[in-house]
Structures are given as C-alpha cells and as structure tokens.
Chain A
Amino acid sequence: MIGNWLDIGPVDQIAPGTARTLPVRGGLDNEAREIAIFRTLNGEFHALVNQCPHKQGPLSQGIVHGGVVTCPLHNWNISLKTGEALGDGEDERGACVPVIPLRVDAGRIYLQRDAVLGQRPTAQAA
C-alpha cells in the first residue's frame, strides 16, 4: 500500500548511467545513513545503501555499466540488483550491501519506507 512507499519524485531527475543520493537524517533507529539511487543506461532503477561493502566507498560516485556499479575507491564491482560484490577475491566473496526495495510507477520513484528508515518491513509502522 502506498503509505509504505516514499515518493522520491520523477524518474527524470536521474539520467541513465548516473546515480543520485538521498540522505536519511536519523531513521527509526536514529542512524544517519545515505541511500544511492541508480539509473542504468537501460533506464532500470535500483537503490542501495551508499556504502561499498569493502571500505564504505560512496557507490553513488562509481561508473555504472550494465546492472553493475564500480566503486570509486578500489574498483569493486557491486551488483545493483542484489548488492553483492561480484568479484571472487578472498574478501569480495559474500560481501554485500543492503538493497532498498524500489518501484517506479507512472514516472515516479518510490522507495520502501521501512527499509529507508532502516527497519525490517515487519517492524512498527509509524
């Protein structure tokens, strides 16, 4: 239901092949966090917590290709769909960044509120 989805505005704010950021100033857990919203060159949208699983690099600043973003700090490749690091290096295997459920409707982007605020969807609704 719509109440569970935050309207982030029109899709046209993010050009294909780029990302924009969405700071969350204190969620339900009062943790400040930043979310990166990506638009692939094919116009697909994905949202991840803006922290590389390697050393918290800001993924929003990486190069987007296919369904992947290459982290700006040490070039790990992160899947935009699953948040997993794609390399099979020692520390890459299993490394993963949280994905924020996102949907696009009638040209607008919606993020799942609970996830944005850092809560399991089951947790207390506001």
Chain B
Amino acid sequence: MTQQAKQRLVVIGNGMAGCRAVEEILARDPGRYAITIFGAEPRVNYNRIMLSPVLAGEKQFADIVINGFEWYADNAITLVAGDAVAAIDRTAQTVIAQSGRAEPYDRLLIATGSDPFIIPVPGKDLAGVVTFRDLDDVDRMVAAADKGGSAVVIGGGLLGLEAAHGLSLRGMQVTVIHIMPTLMERQLDEAAGWLLKAELERRGQTIVTGGDTAEIVGEGGHVTAVRLKDGREFPADIVVMAVGIRPATGLGKAAGLEVERGILVDDHMVTSDPAIMAVGECVQHRGTCYGLVAPLWDMCRALADHATGQPTGYAGSVTSTKLKVSGIDLFSAGDFSGGDGAEDIVLRDAARGIYKRVVVRDDKLVGAVLYGDTADGSWYFDLLKKGEDIGDIREALIFGQAFAAGGALADPNSAVAALSDDAEICGCNGVSKGKVVATILQGACSLDAVRSQCKASASCGSCTGLVESLLAVTLGDAVATRASTLCKCTSFTHDDVRRLILEKSLKAIPQVLQELHWSTPDGCASCRPALNYYLLCAWPGEYEDDQRSRFVNERMHANIQKDGTYSVVPRMWGGLTNPRELRAIADVVEKFNAPMVKVTGGQRLDIFGIKKEDLPAVWADLNAAGMVSGHAYGKSLRTVKTCVGSEWCRFGTQDSTGLGVQIERMTWGSWMPHKFKIAVSGCPRNCAEATIKDFGVICVDSGYELHVGGNGGIKVRVTDLLHKVATEAQAMEVCAAFIQLYREQAHYLERTAPWVERVGLDHVKAALFDDPDAVGRLATRFRYSQQFMQDDPWAERAAGGHAELHQHLAEVRPLPFSPPTQTNAEFA
C-alpha cells in the first residue's frame, strides 16, 4: 500500500489512552492509517501512573517509558512532541498546533486527558505551588525536595497521598490537608480511612482532616505557608495541589463538539462528529467520566475495533483502587454503602492492623474494602465484576480465596472441639483451649465469667466466637445468658468498653471499633453516641467531640419539636433573672415571632418554634444580653432549681438561692451519661423539690443534707441521703465528686436513679468516703474536665461555627428552572 492510499489518522495527546489506542489499531490493521501524534509534553509516551514511584525515587523516567522513539519510527508514526494542538478546524478537517503547524486528517482522535483542578484561593499562583500530573511537575517537586524544608499537600486522595509519600521519602516535612473527615473518602470507609491516617502519622506525616484551605501565604512571590479557615497555619516551601481533575475538553468545546463534563462519546468512542473519536479521561461515556487507567484499556479496544471496521462496543467499566505507597496495602472496589438487603461481613485483626469488609447483596459480592491485607483484592474484584453467586462460600468469603476454596466452613463448634488442648484461643492473654475448658468446668458458665476468671477474650474480643463455642461444646444448654452488650455491634458490655478505653488508651471512635473488633463497619445509632460520651469523659481536653455521633438536640443545641422547629432555653442561674434578660427574651420572641414562650418546670423560660436557620441569630441576641445555653436539650447538667431561702423566707436556714447559683456556675456545660438535675431547698419544707433530683441539697440549721438518685419523671424515685456537711464549700465539693463518680461509672443513658439502684447506695458511699482523699480526687478530675466544657456552645454557633448545620445546601425556586444557588464554591 502507498502512503497516499492510507487514511490520515491524527491523534491529539501522546499519553496513555492516545498511544494505547494507536497500539490497538496497529495490532488489528497496521497498514490502514498514516498516523501523526501531537503531544504537549516534549517527550515520548510514558506510564503516567508510575510518576509516583519516580517521585518516590524508586524508579527513573527511563524505567517508565512505554513507547520509545524507535516504536514511533518502526510504525511510521510522526510524533510532534512539545507542540500542543491549539485548534481543530472541522470543516477543513485540519488541526492547527501552537507552532502554527497545520495537519489535515481523515480521522481525528482526541485523547487530551485531564487537567488538575486548582482551588480558587488567594495565593494559588505563587511560585512553589505545583500540581501532580506530568514529569515536569515531578521535576519541580524533586528540585524543591533537594532544598529540604516542609511541603503541604492539599488533597488527601490517591494522588495527594502518593505525592506526600514521595516528598517525605525525599526528606521533606510533609503536611496533608484534606477537607473531608476521612482520607480517600471516595474509596475508603471510615474504618479503613482511620487506619490509613494512623499509619501515615506514624510515618511522621502531619494529616489534617476537615481542613479547609483559606489562603496560600507567600513572600516575595514565593509560597511560605498555607492558612486554613480556622486560622491554623502550616509552613510550606512547596504546595502540591491534588484536589481533583477536570477532563481536558477545551479543544472539543471550541470545535463545537457535544461536551458536558467530558467530551460525549458513543459506545464506539465516536463524538458528535463522526470523523472525530475521543478516548481516555477527557471523555464522558454513558454519563460517566473515569479517572483511572483500567477503563481506558477497554475503551481503546472498542475504539480500535470500530476504527478497523469490526465494531464491538464499550459498555462502561467497574473500577477498583489501590494506593501505590510502599508498605501500605489498601484496596477498594464496588459499592460498600451497605444498607438494606446488603449484608456487611467485617473481619478485624487489631494485632496485625487488618480491616477487611465485603458487602454481599442477593448472594452476590457488590463491594470490598481491604486494609492491611489485600491479597484477595483481585479475587474479590473478579467475583464482583462477574457477579458470581457466592451463596455457598458466603461463610468463608471474608477469610479469602484460599480458605473459601476449602469449601464452606464446617460447623464452628465441631471445628473448635477438634482443636488440641494446647491450641491458643486468646492471643492477647495467651490462654490455651485447655485453660479455657478447665475454667468453664470450674463453674465459669458465661462469657463474662470466662473473661474475668481466665482473661480469655477479655482484651480485644476477637476470640469471643471461639470462647462461646467452647462454652457450648463443654456445657451444652447450661451456658448462662450473658449481661446485655453495649449494642448489637459488639460482644462487650458498657463496663467492658469503658474499662478497655482506658486500658488501651483508645482515643477515637474508629479506633475503638477496630481495637474492640466491632462487627459493623461504623457502629449504630446506639453505640456511636455512647462511645462519643465515654471517650469525652475518659480524655477531657484531648478527645475531639464527634458531632455526627450526637443526637439531634445535642448537635443543634436546642430541642427539636414535633414540627421540626426548635425550642430555645437560655440558662437562668438558680432560677434568677433580671430586666435585661427578660427584655432580650421578649425581643427575641417578637423578632422571630416565636409562637409560644413558656415558664418551664425547671425555673426558666422556653422559647418555642424557632427554625434551624434562625437559631444562630437567636443565640447571638441572647448572648448579647449575657445569657448562655441552658442545655435543656443535653445529656448534661440541666437546671439547678432553688427556693428563696434565708434571704427572704421566714423559715430559711441557709442561702439556698446563692448556693444554687454557685453550684450551677460550677456544673453547667458538663456532659453526663444522661441529663442531670439539681435543686437546693432552704429548709425541709423543700419547695425546690430537692428530693426528686439527681443531686439535692436540703439546708438545715446545722448545715447541708446532700441527697442523691432522685427522679421526678417516668418512675418517680425519692432521693437517698448521701451525706451531711457543715459548709457550702463542702457541699460543693461532694456535689462535684458525686457527679464525677456518676460520669465515670454509669452507663450511657442511665440516670442517677437507676444507676444508684444498680450499684447500690453503699457502693457509692464507699467510693466517695472510704478513702478520705477520694472526694478531693474526684472533684479535682471534675473541675479539670469542666475547664474544657464551659464555653457556651451558642456563642460558637452565633459566631458562624458549624454553619452547615443551620444553612440549607441550596434552594430550588419555581419556573423557570435555574440551577440552585450554591452555598459553597467548588471544593471550598
């Protein structure tokens, strides 16, 4: 065949898809086209995904070249490298390059890939701000790294983390700033994301999640630091933007091709112009744009089949992700949102830092997340793509291919029965099967008994199943049913969990779920709030409160009403108020036309019917008059009711009002297992109803009677007399100590009344008074934690904190349909 007879194929983009497409065409019909490839990059076709190892210093550019110059020569391909195409003239069927060079085509292939997305913040154009897309970017980063210093990577996705890894291997002090709470949140669930974060921090990187970049700070035109919206600032000699990519559709758009987010193509990768094909990251196929290579290979096959006259068609791809950071094994694929019909199978091995989760729906594998051991990733991915029926290997699925190959699991009990006596059951505490069985035969006929008597499964709980089997095998039906667990996600009781949080110093919810082998990926509506409280109580000042684990009232700092509006109860110290406060409340009621304002049973005022959007403004007005949150919504200190006392009342024995105010000032803002109410009555007539409160003070001539465990609610319970003291100071000290004991020992959602009945008044007295220093120690711990609790949550919201909880995302108005106005700028 002679050149003239050949059709002219021009390819824009010398990257992965463009060249693979050419390879596929040549493999089918080498003589068909006279091929010209334009590449903006001044170099041959290379493996872009290997730029990460190049940055990490594990590979050289030479190692990652896919097609060297000889390939172009051998196939008579004209390579125009370093000369980007500037325009496509569809009528003349010609492309014009930057240099002015014009190249006519019979068939055109657009494979321009994507452009890195730059967040529109001040300083984005400073020298030292780079992206991570091609070899030049890598060279820039390496040059910067050679000078040492610190690097900030904006974006905690695949790209960002691989950049961070490379830069820290090259000796830079790296900070990763990620706007989401979870790293790689598009590929990982919370559990795996947490493990990844912990590992990267162990390697010396600083990982800032929930970090929203406000500005890139510079000096003399060069970047010096990155500042977040919350004011935190991180020094930077180089800033890598890795927040996402945008399909490079510019040429296509300008040429009038149909373009949405990507250049629209049909199943044969043909654009709206039959003479023009497009492939790779720049295209949008059946509504999807891809950012990984695997789909490109499928696209290129379909494209070549069509371009050589045997059309087959591309039907879209299922993708999977791996992170190319040496020493970190991580895999994810498919849909792991769980939910209805979908069954989560979770396997955690804290000791080996492993988290595996597969999601099964209708006996088909629909998703998988693996951390720490990805050996079975490709097997799962295969099952997933093929949609194979895994019904009969379901039990074994999570243990991996090798295991499943051995057929379904035998009955677990007989499996355990078959174990030899010296087989280890509990790795944490080194307890053998023989030991466990012996313990059971000595009368430990429940899981808890075994745990307390021989420590088997008392630490991480991963061998709970084995111990339960041993109980069953040894005792048959005689197995005692165990104390109820914290919730269905765990085999541990409230007390176990509280003990282990301290023993293992667990400081984050995902850490608890992992270390204590939770059976669900992210807990449930029962355990998340409980864990959030237990951690808050165990690590005052250290633990970062997890808003997502709080019930609505505590998240919104107001009581939700049946109609979805909120009620607002400002604090009135000891039930006292003044004209200024009353005026401010009256003004709020009018300004936000609240339908009702009511005197509560807790000696204060409740403003009803406030919309979530208006709450911050309402609070701002109340703050301005010196009022703070009354926590009428919280598992926390509610009210301190008082009576008028010795100051006015003819029977008053002490200043009950004053003491009540002092106590409320000391205790307000503290989070508790449940709500906590206090009252101080000036004499035994008890007008403040102190004897149905969680902590009640009855003033008498000789001092103060301290009562505890009362409840005036669903099940009325009169208080028990705890103690009698002579001075106000002593009364306050015992109050603080009792509250702290309750905070540290009660179960979440257990009020003092049921708690005192469960543990017994004697236990409480012993814990407080057997050791003369106990009260002092408890009170000190309470005051310590209070210093972190006593800033008014309303003030923080009024100042704009957590705005997203109050603002709508956007608003849709009637015809004509303009897209909704957005509250946030992109990625901001």
Residues of A within 8 A of B (CB): 2, 6-10, 12-18, 20-28, 30, 37, 40-44, 55-58, 61-68, 70, 72-73, 75, 77, 79-82, 84, 86, 103, 105-108, 113, 116-117, 126
Whether B261 contacts A105 by the Cβ 8 Å rule is yes
Evaluate whether A21 and B809 lie within 8 angstroms (CB atoms) in the complex, with A61-B560, A72-B552 already known: yes
With beta carbons under 8 angstroms apart, the residue of A12, A14, A40, A68 that contacts B827 is A12
B560 in contact with A65 (CB, 8 Å): no
Q: Is the CB of B524 within 8 A of A65?
A: yes
CA distance A55 to B564 in the complex (A): 10
Which residues on the A side are within 8 Å of B190 (C-beta)?
16-17, 41-42
Q: Which residue on chain B has the smallest CB distance to residue A113? A: B817
- The CA-CA distance from A10 to B824 in the complex, in Å, is 8
Given contacts A7-B819, A25-B812, A25-B814, contact A18 B548 (CB under 8 A): yes
Query: When the two chains form the complex, which single residue of A18, A105, A116 contacts B812, counting CB atoms closer than 8 Å?
Result: A116
Our pick among B528, B553, B556, B824 for the contact of A9 (Cβ within 8 Å) is B824
CA distance A107 to B342 in the complex (A): 25
Q: Contact: B819 with A79, CB < 8 Å? A: no
Check if A126 sits within 8 Å of B525, measured CB to CB: no
- Name which of A7, A27, A55, A72 has the most chain B CB atoms within 10 A of its CB: A72
The chain B residue sitting closest to A80, CB to CB, is B339
- B811: CB under 8 A from chain A? yes
Q: Which of A7, A64, A105, A117 contacts B548 (CB 8 A)?
A: A64
Q: Which residues of B contact A64 (CB under 8 A)?
A: 548
Q: Please name the 8 residue pairs, one residue from A and one from B, whose CB atoms are nearest each other, closest first.
A: A67-B339, A44-B337, A20-B809, A72-B552, A17-B548, A70-B525, A9-B822, A61-B552
Partner of B804 from the list A20, A79, A105 (CB cut-off 8 Å) is A20
Nearest chain-A residue to B288 (Cβ)?
A: A105
Greatest chain B CB density within 10 A among A8, A16, A126 is at A16
- B179 & A12 in contact (Cβ 8 Å cutoff): yes
The answer to whether B525 touches A75 (Cβ under 8 A) is yes
Chain A residues positioned under 8 Å from B342 (CB to CB): 67
Option from B185, B289, B550, B820 in Cβ contact (under 8 Å) with A106: B289
Is B423 in the interface zone, CB < 8 Å from A? Answer: no
Bound CA–CA A84/B547 (angstroms):
26
Any A CB within 8 A of the CB of B181: yes
Contacts of B553 in A (CB 8 A): 72
Q: Is B434 an interface residue (CB 8 A)?
A: no
25 A-B pairs, CB-CB below 8 angstroms?
Answer: A2-B260, A6-B819, A6-B820, A7-B819, A10-B827, A13-B804, A18-B547, A20-B809, A22-B810, A25-B812, A26-B814, A28-B815, A56-B563, A61-B552, A63-B525, A63-B548, A65-B525, A66-B339, A72-B560, A75-B525, A79-B340, A106-B246, A106-B247, A107-B244, A126-B816
A16 near B181 (CB under 8 angstroms)? yes
Chain B residues positioned under 8 Å from A56 (CB to CB): 563-564
Query: Contacts A7-B819, A81-B339, A81-B340 given: A22-B528 contact, CB under 8 Å?
Result: no
Nearest-neighbor residue (CB-CB) of A55 within chain B: B562
Shortest CB-to-CB span from A25 to chain B, Å, is: 5
Give chain A nearest CB distance to B360 CB in angstroms. Answer: 14
Instruction: Find out whether the CB atom of B337 lies under 8 angstroms from the CB atom of A105.
Output: no
A40-B523 Cα distance, complex, nearest whole Å: 12
User: Is B808 an interface residue when CB atoms closer than 8 A count as contact?
Assistant: yes
Tell me how far the C-beta of A60 lies from the nearest C-beta in chain B, rounded to whole angstroms. Answer: 9
Q: Is B180 an interface residue (CB 8 A)?
A: yes
Contacts known (A22-B810, A25-B811, A63-B551); A42 close to B826, Cβ less than 8 A = no
- Across the interface, name the chain A residue whose C-beta is closest to B340: A79
B446 within 8 A of A: no
**At the interface, yes or no: B570 with Cβ under 8 Å from chain A?**
no
Give every chain A residue within 8 A of B150 (Cβ-Cβ).
Answer: none
Contact with B564, one of A27, A58, A108, A117 (Cβ below 8 angstroms): A58
Q: Which residues of B contact A63 (CB under 8 A)?
A: 525, 528-529, 548-552
Nearest B residue (CB) for A13: B824
Complex alpha-carbon distance, A101 and B765, angstroms: 59
Report the minimal beta-carbon distance from B300 to chain A, rounded to whole angstroms.
21
Cα of A12 to Cα of B185 in the assembled complex, Å: 10
Cβ contacts under 8 Å, A116 to chain B: 812
Residue of chain B at shortest CB distance from A77: B525
Are A22 and B811 within 8 A (Cβ)? Answer: yes
Contact B344–A12 (Cβ < 8 Å): no
Q: A23-B811, A61-B556, A67-B342 are in contact. List 4 more A-B contacts (CB 8 A).
A: A6-B819, A20-B804, A62-B525, A86-B340
- Do the beta carbons of A79 and B339 come within 8 Å of each other? yes
How many of B's residues come within 8 Å of A, CB to CB? 67
* Closest Cβ neighbor of B520 among chain A residues: A66
The smallest C-beta distance from A113 to any residue of chain B, in angstroms, reads 6
Q: Assess the B809–A22 pair: CB atoms within 8 A.
A: yes
Assembled-state Cα–Cα distance A66/B335 (Å): 12
Asked if B606 is at the interface (CB within 8 A of a chain A CB), the reply is no
Q: Which of A20, A66, A84, A107 has the most CB of B within 10 A?
A: A66
- When distances are taken between beta carbons in the complex, the residues of chain A under 8 Å from B815 are 28, 126
**How distant is B580 from chain A, measured CB to nearest CB, in Å?**
33
Minimum distance in angstroms from B775 CB to a CB of chain A: 37
Q: Within the complex, which residue of B185, B524, B552, B820 is in contact with A22, where a contact is CB–CB below 8 Å? A: B820
Find out whether the CB atom of A6 lies under 8 angstroms from the CB atom of B817: yes
Hey, which chain B residues are within 8 Å of A28, CB to CB? 815
Docked-complex contact A66 and B808, CB < 8 angstroms: no
Interface residues of B in 333-351 (CB under 8 A from A): 335-340, 342, 344
Tell me, yes or no, whether B521 is within 8 Å of chain A by CB: yes
Inter-chain CA distance A40–B344, complex, in Å, is: 15
What is the CB-to-nearest-CB distance from B318 to chain A, in angstroms, rounded to a whole number? 16
Name the distance in Å between B525's Cβ and chain A's nearest Cβ.
Answer: 4
Which residues from chain B contact A9 at a C-beta distance below 8 Å? 809-810, 820, 822-824, 826
Q: Which residues of A contact B337 (CB under 8 A)?
A: 40, 42, 44, 66-67, 81
User: What CA separation (Å) do A50 and B709 show in the bound complex?
Assistant: 40
B812 touching A72, Cβ below 8 Å: no
* A42 pairs with B338, CB closer than 8 A: yes
* Contacts A12-B827, A106-B246; A57 near B186 (Cβ below 8 A): no
A10 neighbours in B (Cβ, 8 Å): 822, 824, 826-827
Residues on B with beta carbons closer than 8 Å to the beta carbon of A72 = 551-553, 560
B412 at the A interface (CB under 8 A): no
**CB-nearest residue of chain B to A61:** B552
With both chains docked as a complex, state the minimum distance between the C-beta of A74 and any C-beta of chain B, in angstroms: 10
CA distance A70 to B437 in the complex (A): 42
Q: Are B809 and A65 in contact (CB under 8 A)?
A: no
Nearest-Cβ distance from residue A98 to partner chain B, whole angstroms: 15
Q: Are B344 and A66 in contact (CB under 8 A)?
A: yes
How far does the Cβ of A12 sit from chain B's closest Cβ, in whole Å?
Answer: 6
Report yes or no: A62 in contact with B552, Cβ–Cβ below 8 A.
yes
Residue numbers in A under 8 Å from B556 (CB-CB): 61
Q: Say whether, besides A10-B824, A65-B528, A84 and B340 are in contact (CB < 8 Å).
A: yes
Q: A9-B822, A21-B809, A23-B811 are in contact. Are A105 and B551 (CB under 8 A)?
A: no
Smallest CB separation, B17 vs chain A (Å): 17
